[in-house]
Structure 1
Amino acid sequence: MKAFVVEAPFKASVQEVAEPACGPDEIRIAVERVGICGTDHHIFKGEFLSPYPIIPGHEFSGTIDQIGENVSSFTVGERVTADPTLVCGACYYCQTQRFNHCEQWGAIGNTVNGAMAEKVVVPAKNVMKLPDQMSFGEGAFVEPVACVVHGMNQLNAKAGDRAILFGVGAMGQQLVQALVKVGVSELTVVDVEEDKLALAVEWGATRGVLSTHLDEELAEERLFDIVVDATGIPAVVQKAFTFLGPAATYLQFGVTPQGSNVQLDPFTLYHKDLKLLGSMAINQTFIPAFHWVANQRVSVEHLIRRTVTLEDLAQYFQDGPTAKDMKTQLQI
């Protein structure tokens, strides 16, 4: 079968590889759609924890191609998506409901071969059938929505909170919808692209601010109850800290390159009574996200702006995402 293989940082190509074998408790999926995530770009550039060589792709949907001998709840030909998370279920962190910090944590497309290929094998327990009304594109969007659900669980926003969100690409746009639904009273969004700001306002943000006009437009109004970074850019993170009001909560949602550094005066942390939170991947949030998408509580189809083929991927990753990009998906 054909697969996109990252052999080393900045070295990737489409190759002929053996089809993955389907174990007794596994399902093999003929891949239809794969979302391209910021994490995939970090993997390509050697900025994530992935081993090499690896086939990326952790946001995906497709059709069941083969079923393991112990699997009885699925049939060949069914349309499905799957939680890419791989955990042991037995370690201290799994036993205390912190599955995303499993001592043997892994993920399809991150630590083992993923879905940027014609076929991918997944544990049957991770698979969800797609309802008829859910497209393959939406099915491949459940995993990123699951990241948003985990982020919102971490944030624990309250009705009436004033929030500012940095970065309204595909992930930021989902965060906009989620923050609106929990009832923040104000949601200021910041980005480098006017079109993205306009879309965020259309979906419920109260104000869009170009990053180049940030100090000017918010000179008299710099403090918020909630500050969220969805860019993963250290310089943006550093700037975001300046908008934390007393007893505010900061959420680092965007994935930064490993080894990045920002500064925060610990006296400020103490004196302002701040809460600093991270949000790593997903934590038993795939099923809630699935229902969000299936019931149109979070809309994602309009965020898919471009599809590419396997043959396009090497150049796509070499070029990197642009400021105008929303979600790009691979069509197998």
Structure 2
Amino acid sequence: GGWIDRHCRAEDLGATMTMDPTTADVIDAIAGPVGLVPGGVDVVFECAGVRETVEQSMRLARAGGTVVIVGVTPQGVKAEFEPFDLLFRELKVLGSFLNPYTHRRAAELIASGTIEIDRLISRQVSLEEAPAVIANPPAPGEVKVLVVPRRG
């Protein structure tokens, strides 16, 4: 299925750990007493832009840790957290909207081969196919779709 394809690709690219969130308790598997990082991680980057992952991110950070919300949730989506938990564990929660100053550095990292992107591209489509791809949920196993306009 789609998750297994992404799981294999992530491990192939060097991920320390992957898990299927539909079959495992993410919080326990990562920050629980016998998890990957008991007590939680120093920094959590929430990149999915989904209510559940925003809520999980607060619980994955260690006391004194930082949560950076990068994923873009649709306007109007609300996430729940306990202000007491935030206060008691002294979490820092930051928002970080991508900015124009990151593009040149990203392009240089890709051009130099430091970041290998070819293995992330799961499909190429024409410009004419792009609206349908954007309007529909990703196909199982799809990671990144590259739009390649026809020359001529």
Report the alpha carbon displacement of residue 204 of structure 1 after superposing the two structures with TM: 2.0
Structure 1 unpaired stretches of 5+: 1-191
Query: By percentage of residues, which structure has more helix?
Result: 2
The corresponding residue for 1:201 is 11
Report the alpha carbon displacement of residue 325 of structure 1 after superposing the two structures with TM: 1.3
Report the alpha carbon displacement of residue 290 of structure 1 after superposing the two structures with TM: 2.0
The corresponding residue for 1:240 is 57
Distance 1:327 1:237 in 2: 22
Equivalent residues in 2 for 1:11-26, closer than 5 Å:
none
Query: Is the 8 Å Cα contact of residues 4 and 141 (structure 2) preserved in structure 1?
Result: no
Amino acid at match of 2:116: S
Q: Say which SS state the counterpart of residue 290 (structure 1) adopts.
A: helix
Equivalent residues in 2 for 1:270-289, closer than 5 Å:
270-289=87-106
The corresponding residue for 1:295 is 112
Determine if the alignment matches structure 1 residue 304 to structure 2 residue 114: no
The number of residue pairs the alignment matches comes to: 141
Amino acid at match of 1:198: C
Q: Percent identity?
A: 26
Q: Say which SS state the counterpart of residue 226 (structure 1) adopts.
A: strand
Query: Structure 2 vs 1, CA of residues 199 and 264 (structure 1 numbering), >3 Å: closer, same or farther?
Result: same
Q: Say which SS state the counterpart of residue 146 (structure 2) adopts.
A: strand
Report the alpha carbon displacement of residue 243 of structure 1 after superposing the two structures with TM: 1.5
Distance 1:312 1:284 in 2: 30
Determine if the alignment matches structure 1 residue 265 to structure 2 residue 82: yes
Q: Say which SS state the counterpart of residue 67 (structure 2) adopts.
A: strand
Q: Say which SS state the counterpart of residue 280 (structure 1) adopts.
A: coil
- Superposition misfits of 4+ residues, deviation over 6 angstroms: none
Structure 2 unpaired stretches of 5+: none
Report the alpha carbon displacement of residue 323 of structure 1 after superposing the two structures with TM: 4.5
Query: Structure 2 vs 1, CA of residues 288 and 311 (structure 1 numbering), >3 Å: closer, same or farther?
Result: closer
1:324 corresponds to which of 130, 141, 151: 141
Q: Say which SS state the counterpart of residue 322 (structure 1) adopts.
A: coil
Distance 2:89 2:140 in 1: 34
Q: Which whole-Å deviations, capped at 9, do the CAs of 1:100-134 have from their partners, x for residues lacking one?
A: xxxxxxxxxxxxxxxxxxxxxxxxxxxxxxxxxxx
Query: Is the 8 Å Cα contact of residues 123 and 146 (structure 2) preserved in structure 1?
Result: yes
Distance 1:306 1:195 in 2: 13
Report the alpha carbon displacement of residue 246 of structure 1 after superposing the two structures with TM: 0.5
TM-score by length of 2: 0.80
- Highest Rg: 1 or 2? 1
Distance 1:324 1:240 in 2: 24
Query: Structure 2 vs 1, CA of residues 259 and 249 (structure 1 numbering), >3 Å: closer, same or farther?
Result: same
Q: Cα RMSD between the aligned structures?
A: 2.1
Amino acid at match of 1:312: E
The corresponding residue for 2:43 is 226
Amino acid at match of 1:234: R
TM-score by length of 1: 0.39
Amino acid at match of 1:193: W
Q: Say which SS state the counterpart of residue 213 (structure 1) adopts.
A: coil
Report the alpha carbon displacement of residue 214 of structure 1 after superposing the two structures with TM: 2.8
Query: Structure 2 vs 1, CA of residues 242 and 212 (structure 1 numbering), >3 Å: closer, same or farther?
Result: same
